Amino acid sequence: MGERIQKIKRLKKIRIHREGTSELFYSAIAILIICTGLWYLLYAISPMTSHIVMPFVCAVLVAAWLMTLNFYRCPIRYFNGDTENLVVAPADGKIVVIEETEEHEYFHDKRLMISIFMSPLNVHANWFPVDGKVKFVKHFNGNYHKAWLPKASEENEHADIMITTPNGEDILVRQIAGAMARRIVTYAKPEEECYIDEHLGFIKLGSRVDVFLPVDAKPCVIMNQPTTGDQTVIAKLK
């Protein structure tokens, strides 16, 4: 009984992301028009054929719509605890990179990079990984390599968001388009205060988010570990 109550509470905290409301609405209307028109056409040709074919066609279209609905779900989440010096996962997915890397674009030194790959089945809303102030936001056009490949971080279309923490540390968050993703949405605005629990942006379909941290940051995750956006602590800053 207790598990059922907890499940109901979780479901009540799930809503549809604003990036998908218009697409879901118009696609539902399109499915209704297609199914109605096809039914009349097939029925005019052969009533028996319409009774056989239409349930299958409608089932496929509705299943596709439900998959899209699942993609645009947006859980309401709040981090429970003190956020000082913590870095939380900016996205749902799994850890695909934990390594020291030379960052030449902004820092020109070694950084600890932690990357999260988001499959089409994951929630695709992005959260701010730290409290602070947005220093700048930059968008870069590029390729659409598979998001888990190392070269995707620099060569794919991406958006860079630099955040300065209350302690003066600069943290770079990179939203990366994948082989299927074709749109990166960034809500972060330069000079605005930002906090864990707030949405940083949204990436449509399979994609990836990189976080560049000071090299002395302590990772709190391991390779292939699943992450929950705004919940999983991925590192601690010194």
Active site (catalytic) residues: 207
Whole-angstrom distance, CA of residue 115 vs CA of residue 213: 11
Residue 51 vs residues 79, 187, 213: alpha-carbon distances, Å: 51, 48, 59
The helix (run of H) or strand (run of E) holding residue 136 is strand 132-140
Q: How would DSSP label each residue in 151-197?
A: THHHHB-EEEEEEE-TTS-EEEEEEEE-SS---EEE---TT-EE-TT
**Residues β-bridged to residue 43:** none
The helix (run of H) or strand (run of E) holding residue 89 is none
**Residue 175 has which token pair?**
């939203």
Task: Return the C-alpha torsion angle 184, 204, 193, 237, nearest 10.
Answer: -100
